[in-house]
Structure formats: structure tokens, C-alpha cells
Structure 1
């Protein structure tokens, strides 16, 4: 190794001082001297020989495990700095599955599988060396799950590396070469963004139907297909599947489910996506004037149930659970636990149900919200009835006891014959 010199293109920094007789370079190759090495060629050289040469140049001392053996080849066709030479040495060690372990004033060279459990340099900030030195770095995630990152990233990491999730602080601990960790850092910069911070939002619908709003959201909010569009169908979403999407405003909407019991929309989205759904509901959830269908009189046509019987059922239901407006804050009519608990109000106001026998339909007078409740009850009651078809065949038989005997007799002389119906004995006694 020749440091400095008078060759063309080589920086000659002159002799070093007695206070600093060696070229400076850190163990991970992140910082090092810019002094040039004019000849750094080791064809088929032993690892120990290269370590000795770099030790004389940098003043570093090494401790080698007994299994540190092997030959490597380093060829440089142009001058390189001391820092670059040290990084080439780290790459050569990584190719042979060896690593450097800082140990006081010495550097231990050992197998990577053993080195990952030792006192490697640990980095917690946003920067770490991008050389092939074995290091440990902590990634504190903002939006992604540490367990999910560890599970997905483990598939393309080397066998001697290690990635461990720590759920309490949503942190991932990675032990690998600096170059591989730099690649993971770039991937996390792209993936760990706010667009994936999805949560569950409940948006109430006051005047319209939540089920209809779920369809409108799927139709009216544009966006590109998100990765979760092919995911499983959420329970309670009915037969249709919401198409997950990313909007141009930065929103991510995974699914929208209508809860018919409370007439609410359950939205799984990030904050921007939930705001877009909430804004759409605010614009469209308006009471309709009576002249265009916003009145209180509604007609429900039945298919299987009897209108008169169902009218009596609904009338009894409304008499027991409605009649008074629902108080604000839910102080009254919300149920109780005493001896005579207060019955929860089923309807916002009073409702009336009449039956039209000729068309087998119900005429309901109620507010839109109360009518939605009545409609859900009718849908569950207006179902095909169980029927039994029986076919019976009755056969009548009679039994009597009798004994009849008869004979046909013909005379061989004259060919005359007769049919005897009486007693055979009397015939024989008086033949023809």
C-alpha cells in the first residue's frame, strides 16, 4: 500500500505528524481520511494479510476468531482514499460472512451469525453508515405497525440479519449491514406515511337511509384502487363489497358499512378519507319537503303476510314503545335497572298503521326515521310461511267366508251338456 506519492493525480498530503501517525477511519466506514492509496490490489489474498496491511495504515488492532479463514480478491485500477479502502475491506468480509465487532481498543473479526448477538454499534437517529459493516438500527414507526413491517421485510433480508418488532413503542430493531439498512430506510420513508393511518369512524345519518348512503359514497367519491381492494369482505356489509380507494386529496377509504339498526355509517379510512365521507353526508343528508316525498304517509305492499294481522302487530308495538319524542342527551327513555325500569323509546314520535285489505298493503304515518324502523320490522315479518301438503288415499275392503262348487258335464252318447249349480250328489242321483 502506497499512501501519497508523486504520481500524477495523487494527492500528496506530506508526512503525518507524530501526534497522528495513522490514517483516520471509523470502524463502520462512515467517516475516513481522504488520503489516496495509489495501489490497493490483493489478488487471492488471505483475510489475515489484508487485515494486517490495513492495521498498519490505520493503526487498528484486530482479534481474529479461530475460524476466520479464507481468501479474497480486491482489485483497484485507480487510486482510492483510505475510507474507500476500508469500505472495500468491509465488503470483502461481508462476502465471506464475517463481520467486525468493536471491543475496546481492538476490533474482533467473527462470523456474522455470532456477531449479531455482540456489542455492535447501535443507531437510533435518522442517519447510519451505508457501508457493509454489521450494525444495529432502531426505526420508530409513525403509521405502520411494527409487527407488520417485521413480517413483510423479513422475506427479503439476508439469513444472518435480524429484525425484531417492539409493539410497546411501535419500533423495529434491525441488525444487518449498513447498506441493507439504508435500503430499508428508503422503503420506510415511502411506506410509513399518513395515508395508511386508517381508523374507524362512525358517521350518523339523520334523515336518509344509511344503506343508500353507503352506495352513494362508493359511487360519488372518485379515486384509484387501493391495495386493500381485494381484501376480505367485512362482516355486516351485506352482499356488496365496497371498493377501497385512494383519493387525489390524500384520502384512503378502505370500506364503508351501513349499520341499519342505528342508521349510522361505519367508515374505515384515514383522517382525510373520513372527512370526505363526512362532508358528503353533510351535503346530502337533508329533510325532504312534503311536496317531493318528504311527508309522513308511506305505503308498504306485502307479499306473504296478511296486512290486517301485521297492522295489529305494529300497532301494539307502537303503543308500547313510542309516543314521546326522544329527549336530548338520553336522560329519559334510556332504560333503567330499578324495580320498574323505564322502557326505552322505540320511536321518535307517534306512529299510525292501517291495513288496506284489497291491496294487502300497510299505510304508515310516521317520521322518516320511524318509518325506516317500521320498514325493517316489516321486512323481517313479511316472509314466506311454512306450509305442509298432505295427500291421503283411503281404500275400503270387505271380507266374507263362502264355499261354491260347480261342474260342466257332457254326455258322450248324444253330446248334450249341462251346467250344474246345485249339489253334486243330487245330480249324480238323478242324472239327465
Structure 2
């Protein structure tokens, strides 16, 4: 089924490109724009050859030993003229060869292709008539080079199943291989078969150095282009064209050095004496030096983060352009804070210099934050109250008064329950009355009549002035590195009732399910310091204070639904090292007046004071935030800051054990008077990197 689908696809391709189906050997004009797309996944090789036969217009004869499956992935369309090269690669992978016999191309195992009758030629004209995938025999006559030496060279460069035979009577080399390999071999033989007295050909495989770089260095040294001081010329990047042969100036014999990058070997054509001299030079250069033991090195970092350094080096090396530049890979290994570098020795030296300039101790900043909130509250109240109790409760049996009804009153100006408690306490002596705040004076008048509709009559005069001052002081300190974000939280995690669900009914009972969340209430600070020149610090500050309203933390017994007050500051400031700055000051004022009075009577001048109650309240809130950054660039400065912080902690402990508490002004003055050791700005690297 897969073969039928493939043939259907081939027919569709041929229908779309009719010129692609024309045989190329017929001399017809080839359509340069004809493109095909190959996407073959594990298809039988016979089906693949059938597809190429239709596309190339060639006749193929398959051996019984041609079997197996192949896969060809081509995400982009390719021109039809490139199909012979693809077919050659497919056959080489399967150990097959194409042998042209007239108008038919036989596909046989490569071992049999050597013994099969194939087309041969003594000139290069054969390449014009035979495709790249064809297995052919080429006769190569030699004029100057020794036949056995060229044979050894050809055997080293030919394919795996190629045949190389020397024919001494005619000084001819007979080579059977694929047409593309023979084409490459012909070019090399042409370069080595040149006039020279007693020239020999030597193939030198290299172990450590790249053949292209070694060839250029050897020629440079021999010809004097870089050997004036006895040192090899600078190494060249791999991927450049092989070194071209040249004769040394003033020399009688030509010394030629070629690079075969496929086998990473040097081909030396020279006299025996010159060959020995070149071999000695190659032996000295092709050795394992400490810098080139391996491309992969591990670099441990002392101060920087391995991920950050790896990202920087990767960004730098990714922008490099140029043909033949070897790849560079940098990988982070956070477990030991190291980076793994895969690069050439020259590139590694460059990257190591960059890492040494980046992996340095970073400056640090000790940030001191002082948060003060002063809450001033003042109230003044004056009141004159009168009250009488009703006696309408009677005992229906005896006709006697049942008792004073303290739930009903008649007349008076009672504005709070204190006067009623005073009256009941006087009459029944059973209800305690708590002492009121401020100045209080009162009396009770009780009539003697048992059936008097007017009960006891009481009078209360009170005056109160209250002052409240709350001073909240927080002084957190935090040490962080330059350009690093740091956060500090001093919070209480309180339970908050978020929802309540009641299930069941009255007959079966009810269950109440409460959803409890926990909320952080307190002080939160987030800082990012940036140290600039002349010991200035640019601070990004994000600070918030959240407090409960109407309840203290000590009174919390269970889930709450509290109200909170939140004050938040978000800003960016520039401060000199050791200086204190106020980043915010929020002042809030509130005034309120409460008045209760008896209608008409309370409006009478002077006398109306006996019939009204008035309370005046004032509240002021002042929140200030002070920040002092201190740059720490060496262990000495760090020790000074640490000792100062320790001394300050001892002072607070002394206050907790009975010493006088310092005022805010004294605390701020001690912070301001702390010495600051001035240090010169950090030096900047001026070394060029040349990336």
C-alpha cells in the first residue's frame, strides 16, 4: 500500500513538472525551475529507485541483493538536477553502487561493482558523460610522480570498497570508485603529479591539529612568511579553503603541502630530505599542549550566579558571524555554581578574561528604615443630665406599688445610662455603679408618696477632657547586594472569617461550616539599591503598613472580620551614602462635634447649658518614613556596620530592663551621627575583548 501511495505521489510530481520526467541523457533542455520534494519514511529501496527512475528519466536494473528500507527527509523542495547526488548517497548508505552499462544503470553491491565491466576513460571526459552516482573505472596516467606513492595516496583517499591498481609498464593508476570520488581523486593527483627531482608523496594523519590550519602554518614557516622569528604563523579558523601549494622562493625543489579535511591528514609532496624536514615540523606542531587537552572546561565562580554568567556569555557568542568560526557553548551548572564551556583554546582564553572581570565581589548596601506614626487624639465634653423614673407598675391584688420601673422614664435629659444607674443604686442599694471618667457630681431626690406618679428625680453633672498620643516606631535594617531586590516583612498572620455555610434543618439539626483564611498584617518593605558613581545610591522603595482597627492582636480569640488601615509608599530616590532622607510624610486631621439637648430649653443662652450635652474631638495622624543607605565595599566597612547594629541592639535591651526610653529625636540623632567611611569609586575594566 505504501508503495502504491509513493508511486501516486511520483505521478503527481511528474504531472506538475513534465520536463522533470524527460531523460537528462537525451540532451533535452532541462527546466532549471523544476522542483521536487522528497519525504520518504522507511520506504523499500526498490520503490525509492523506481521513483528516481521516473524523475530522472533513467533505466535501472536491480540486483537480487538490493533490499531493505531507506528514509529521505527533505523539508524543502530541491531541483531535479540534484537527484543524482541524492541517489548516490542513498546507495552508499546501503552498500550499493550504480554501474552504467549502455543506456541501463545496474544497481549492485559495491563489492561486485569492482569486478563488473564498467565504462572507463583515460581522460577527464568520462565525468561529462557519467552521473555522480555511477560506479566507474578511471585510468590515471602519471608523468612525474612515483606510481607506488600515488597508489598509496589513492588508497588512503578512495572509498571503502574502491579498487586501486598500479600498472607499472604504462605508469598508469587504475581506480574503480564512484564518479564523485574519482573526480576528487583526479584533482589531488593532478596537483601532486608535477615536475620534481626525486619527489615523494607522504600522507600524514593528524591527531590533534586541524589539517587546514596545519597546512597553512607549515607553508608559512617553510616559505618564510611567518618564520622570521622561528614561530608558526597565527592559526586560522577551520572551514577555510585548503592551503594552495607553492614553491619556496629560491628553492630548487618544490615543496607542496595539501590538506584533506575528510581524513584530517596532510599530503606532502617533496624530496626525501625536504619531507623529513616537514615531518619533523609537523610532529612538533601536532601535539597535545596543556591549552588544547580538551575543548570542554569547567569554570567555577566565586561571587556571581552561574545562570547569569552563562546567559551573558551565550548572548555574546551568539552574535559572532563569520565563515568557519568554531561553535561556542556555555552551560550553567548551579549545583556547584559553575559554568561548562565548550570552545577552542583561543576562544576559551577570551571568555575566561570576561568571566574574571564579571565574577568580582559586588558592593553591598545596608539600608536602615525608620517608620514613625504619631496619632494625637483630644476630646472635651461637658454635660448636665436630669432624669426621673415612672411608677406606673402596680400590684393588681394589693393595689400597692409594685416597684420602680427602671426601664421607663419621664422627662429629663438623660444622654447616657450613668444617671439611671445612680438613681437605682440610691433607691435599691443593689446595683453597683462604676465610677465615671472625669469630673462627676450627682444627687437623687425621692418623693414620700407611695402612689406618686412621679418617681425619684436625679441630677448628674460631668466634665471630661481626654488626650491620647500613640507613637509607633519601627526601625528595620537589611543588607543586600548591589542591584539585588530584597524584601523584609514583620507581620502577624491572623485568622479571618471569609465565609459561613449552614446546612441541615431545625428537625435534623444544623451544621455550620466556616471558611477561614489567614491574612498578613504588619510592615512590609521591598528595596532594590543601585550604587552609582560618587557613592550615591538609587533606591527603588515599595513599603506598606497595615494595622487592625478596633481590635488588638492580644484580644484575638478566634476568626475575625476586621477592618484594617493600610498606608503604602512606592517611589524611587537618590541618596548619598550615609545620608538620611524622608521619603513620605502623610498628615491627616479630623475634627468632630457631638451635641445633644432638650428642644427649646437647650437653646437658651447660659441657662441652656443645663439642658444640653456637647463633646468636641480632634485627631491628628502623622506618618513619616526615614531611609539611610550605607554602602559596604570591603570587610572593614562590613565590620563597622555590624558592630554599630550590635551596639544599637544592646541599647534597646537596656531600655527593656528599666533604662530611660529614648525619644524619637535622640534616636534620629544617633543615626545621623554614625560615621561613614568614604571609599573611592570602584575602578572600571579597560581591557578590550574583541568579540
TM-score bracket for the superposition, by shorter chain length: 0.3 to 0.5
Which structure: greater strand fraction? 2
**TM-score, length basis structure 2:** 0.26
Rg bigger for which structure?
2
